[in-house]
Amino acid sequence: MEEAAAPEGNNRERAQLEYGMEARTPWQLPMRAWWQILKRCFVMNGFHNLPLLAAGVAFYTFLSVTPLLASTVLLYGLIGNAQTVEKSMQAIIQVVPSDAARLIQEQLSSAVETSGGVAGLALGVSLFLAIFGASRASKGLIGALNIINEEHETRSIIRFNLTALGLTVAAIFVAVVGIGSASVFAVLRTIDIGVADRAVSGLIQILTWVFALLLGSFGFGLINRFGPDRRAAKWQWLTPGSLMSTLLWIVVSFGFSLYVAFISDYNATYGSLSGIVVFLMWLFLSCYSLLLGALLNAEAERQTAFDSTVGPARPAGDRGAVLADLHLADEVDAKVLEKRRVRRANRAARKASRDGADLGDEAQPS
């Protein structure tokens, strides 16, 4: 009876894991599949120790903030007035807790002041050094994404550093586009258009946040696509996690700002270090939001048997990505085979033990 009951239970388990098995895009996954994905995200959050990974990435990001702001100001200064960066960054700084916002504002003002007299070769050298210094955050993030995607880093030192520099440059370009767009929207809000001025101004404000959401999602998608050491996933499989990361980052930033302003008293606990502590906590929550989105993408890929990587469809095992190569149902099949092997071994051991006991009884004199 035990032998007959076990396969039936395994078949039920396999059938449950086949929800969304034929999905070619994440939008074709049924609700039951998403429920399973969310449950696995909860488990894998602890298995990968995501809070610790986020803390490590936040530390490297903290070390990269000054060169990152400096490189953004220098690059924006090539196409516009660097002084406008401070004004355009106000929309982003408003989301950040006040203590952290002061630190960013101070570093931003310092970067704007020092960028004024830099030109020519000195500008190029300064920009390269700033980007190279800011790439520490990208390197830490790449390591975390490799863990989430269950990959090992196999790229050479040169290729790894070039990837980190490329992601840093991409992040800076996204920031420059965001700053330029914020400047355009700010100008549009100041135009006097008569009776409908207030309504149109509100609409422009909404469009500003929608564009920021899309731009942030695109930036997170770039990181998830080119960061981990694997064959890149298709854009459509990166979209759910990127959107979730952006929305979660906005909600967490607003929530943490309210917590710092009305509930917690970091000044009483940390004194003059309160600004740095608040800034580090905000970076930690921001990195945690990004990694949770990456985890959602990873588990969504695990749910489908369809090839989620770029290029023509490949059979499982040849896709160059652990999560795309192994479907959950395949893991269940492996568990079933392992259970059967263990049962056979146990039966053989029991039979050998009984046979040995019988031989011993026969050998004893009557």
The string of pLDDT tens digits covering residues 189-202 is 666 555 456 666 66
Q: Residue 360 pLDDT more than 90?
A: no
To which residue do tokens 């309210």 refer? 258
How many CB atoms are located within 10 Å of the residue 62 CB? 17
Q: Residue 296 pLDDT more than 90?
A: yes
Residues 6+ apart with CB under 8 A from 246: 213, 216, 217, 220, 293
Q: Residue 150 pLDDT more than 80?
A: yes
Question: How far apart, in whole angstroms, are the C-alpha atoms of residue 24 and residue 156?
Answer: 33
pLDDT band for position 325 (cuts 50, 70, 90): confident
**Sign of dihedral through CA atoms 308, 310, 315, 319?**
negative
Contact yes or no for 72/85 (Cβ under 8 A) = yes
Q: Residue 333 pLDDT more than 50?
A: no
- The whole-number pLDDT of residue 278 equals 86
Residues 6+ apart with CB under 8 A from 222: 167, 170, 171, 174
- In the chain, the percentage of residues whose pLDDT exceeds 90 is 23
Q: In degrees rounded to 5, what are phi and psi of residue 294? A: -65, -40
- Per-residue pLDDT averaged across 296-318, rounded? 87
Among 110-114, 246-250, 336-340, where is mean pLDDT lowest?
A: 336-340
pLDDT band for position 67 (cuts 50, 70, 90): confident
Q: Output 16 or 183, whichever has higher pLDDT.
A: 183
For the segment 31-63, what is each residue's pLDDT rounded down to a tens digit? 988 998 999 999 999 999 999 999 999 999 888
Q: Residue 223 pLDDT more than 60?
A: yes
The domains of the chain are located at 1-21+327-366, 30-325
Helix (H) or strand (E) holding 106: helix 98-115
Q: Residue 258 pLDDT more than 60?
A: yes
Question: How far apart, in whole angstroms, are the C-alpha atoms of residue 326 and residue 299?
Answer: 11
Q: Output 308 or 268, whichever has higher pLDDT.
A: 308
Residues 6+ apart with CB under 8 A from 296: 37, 41, 240, 241, 244
**SS3 state of residue 272:** helix
